[in-house]
Protein backbone atom coordinates (compact mmCIF):
# COMPACT_ATOMS: atom_id res chain seq x y z
CA UNK A 1 0.00 0.00 0.00
CA UNK A 2 1.30 3.44 -0.85
CA UNK A 3 1.65 5.99 1.89
CA UNK A 4 -1.45 8.07 2.57
CA UNK A 5 -1.46 11.84 2.90
CA UNK A 6 -3.23 12.44 6.21
CA UNK A 7 -5.08 15.70 6.65
CA UNK A 8 -7.61 17.07 9.10
CA UNK A 9 -10.28 15.81 6.67
CA UNK A 10 -9.22 12.14 6.69
CA UNK A 11 -7.10 11.61 9.81
CA UNK A 12 -9.82 10.51 12.23
CA UNK A 13 -11.55 8.32 9.65
CA UNK A 14 -8.26 6.63 8.78
CA UNK A 15 -7.53 5.84 12.43
CA UNK A 16 -11.05 4.55 13.07
CA UNK A 17 -11.16 2.41 9.91
CA UNK A 18 -7.78 0.68 10.34
CA UNK A 19 -6.39 -1.42 13.18
CA UNK A 20 -2.75 -0.53 12.57
CA UNK A 21 -1.55 2.90 11.44
CA UNK A 22 1.91 4.44 11.48
CA UNK A 23 1.97 8.22 11.23
CA UNK A 24 5.00 10.19 10.10
CA UNK A 25 4.92 13.83 11.20
CA UNK A 26 7.08 15.87 8.85
CA UNK A 27 7.53 19.18 7.04
CA UNK A 28 8.97 19.92 3.59
CA UNK A 29 11.69 22.20 5.03
CA UNK A 30 12.94 19.48 7.41
CA UNK A 31 15.92 17.77 5.77
CA UNK A 32 15.92 14.70 8.10
CA UNK A 33 12.18 14.34 7.39
CA UNK A 34 12.72 14.40 3.64
CA UNK A 35 15.59 11.90 3.97
CA UNK A 36 13.32 9.59 5.99
CA UNK A 37 10.51 9.57 3.41
CA UNK A 38 12.01 6.83 1.16
CA UNK A 39 12.62 4.64 4.25
CA UNK A 40 9.01 5.15 5.33
CA UNK A 41 7.72 4.39 1.83
CA UNK A 42 9.82 1.21 1.60
CA UNK A 43 8.44 0.04 4.95
CA UNK A 44 4.95 0.74 3.63
CA UNK A 45 5.63 -1.43 0.58
CA UNK A 46 6.91 -4.27 2.81
CA UNK A 47 4.01 -4.11 5.30
CA UNK A 48 0.85 -4.06 3.21
CA UNK A 49 -1.39 -4.76 6.23
CA UNK A 50 -0.41 -1.48 7.89
CA UNK A 51 -1.56 1.98 6.85
CA UNK A 52 1.39 4.36 6.60
CA UNK A 53 0.28 7.98 6.73
CA UNK A 54 2.18 11.24 6.48
CA UNK A 55 1.10 14.46 8.18
CA UNK A 56 2.64 17.66 6.88
CA UNK A 57 2.58 19.74 10.06
CA UNK A 58 2.76 22.95 8.04
CA UNK A 59 -0.27 22.11 5.91
CA UNK A 60 -2.26 20.65 8.82
CA UNK A 61 -0.83 22.12 12.02
CA UNK A 62 -3.95 21.19 14.01
CA UNK A 63 -3.03 17.50 13.88
CA UNK A 64 0.50 18.15 15.13
CA UNK A 65 -0.84 20.44 17.85
CA UNK A 66 -3.40 17.85 18.97
CA UNK A 67 -0.64 15.25 19.39
CA UNK A 68 1.73 17.85 20.88
CA UNK A 69 4.31 17.33 18.15
CA UNK A 70 7.03 19.86 18.81
CA UNK A 71 9.95 18.06 17.15
CA UNK A 72 10.16 16.38 13.78
CA UNK A 73 10.63 13.93 12.27
CA UNK A 74 8.28 12.05 14.52
CA UNK A 75 6.42 8.77 14.35
CA UNK A 76 3.22 7.76 16.09
CA UNK A 77 2.31 4.07 16.14
CA UNK A 78 -1.43 3.47 16.51
CA UNK A 79 -3.07 0.09 17.02
CA UNK A 80 -6.78 -0.32 17.55
CA UNK A 81 -7.15 3.47 17.83
CA UNK A 82 -4.64 3.69 20.67
CA UNK A 83 -1.26 5.37 20.41
CA UNK A 84 1.20 2.76 21.66
CA UNK A 85 4.57 4.29 20.74
CA UNK A 86 6.14 7.55 19.66
CA UNK A 87 9.56 8.02 18.14
CA UNK A 88 11.21 11.40 17.75
CA UNK A 89 14.21 11.99 15.52
CA UNK A 90 15.70 10.47 12.44
CA UNK A 91 15.95 6.67 12.32
CA UNK A 92 17.16 4.19 9.75
CA UNK A 93 15.37 1.36 8.00
CA UNK A 94 16.47 -1.35 10.45
CA UNK A 95 15.28 0.69 13.44
CA UNK A 96 11.92 1.28 11.75
CA UNK A 97 11.64 -2.45 11.03
CA UNK A 98 12.31 -3.19 14.72
CA UNK A 99 9.68 -0.69 15.85
CA UNK A 100 7.14 -2.23 13.46
CA UNK A 101 7.89 -5.73 14.75
CA UNK A 102 7.61 -4.51 18.35
CA UNK A 103 4.25 -2.92 17.55
CA UNK A 104 3.02 -6.13 15.86
CA UNK A 105 3.98 -8.13 18.96
CA UNK A 106 2.66 -5.57 21.46
CA UNK A 107 0.06 -7.03 23.85
CA UNK A 108 -3.11 -5.04 23.26
CA UNK A 109 -5.09 -6.70 26.06
CA UNK A 110 -4.73 -3.69 28.37
CA UNK A 111 -6.09 -1.38 25.67
CA UNK A 112 -8.99 -3.75 24.91
CA UNK A 113 -9.75 -4.01 28.63
CA UNK A 114 -9.80 -0.22 28.92
CA UNK A 115 -12.19 0.12 25.97
CA UNK A 116 -14.45 -2.56 27.44
CA UNK A 117 -14.52 -0.88 30.85
CA UNK A 118 -15.16 2.48 29.20
CA UNK A 119 -18.08 1.03 27.24
CA UNK A 120 -19.58 -0.31 30.48
CA UNK A 121 -19.27 3.11 32.09
CA UNK A 122 -16.67 1.98 34.62
CA UNK A 123 -14.00 4.41 33.40
CA UNK A 124 -16.28 7.43 33.67
CA UNK A 125 -17.37 6.35 37.14
CA UNK A 126 -13.76 5.95 38.23
CA UNK A 127 -12.93 9.48 37.03
CA UNK A 128 -15.87 10.98 38.92
CA UNK A 129 -14.82 9.47 42.27
Tell me the domains of the chain and their CATH numbers.
4-128 (3.40.30.10)
pLDDT tier at 129, thresholds 50, 70, 90 = very low
Cβ-in-10-Å burial (0-12, 13-18, 19+) of 75 comes to buried
**pLDDT attached to residue 27:** 96
Task: Look over the chain and give the mean of its residue pLDDT values, rounded to a whole number.
Answer: 91
What is the mean predicted confidence (pLDDT) over 12-26? 96
Average pLDDT over residues 18-22: 96
- In the DSSP assignment, the letter for residue 71 is S
Whether this prediction's pTM lies above 0.85 is answered by yes
pLDDT tens digits, 27-49 = 999 999 999 999 999 999 999 99
Amino acid sequence: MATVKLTKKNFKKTIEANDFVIVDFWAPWCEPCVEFTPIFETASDKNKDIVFGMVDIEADPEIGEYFQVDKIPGLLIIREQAGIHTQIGQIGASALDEIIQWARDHDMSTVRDYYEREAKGEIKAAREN
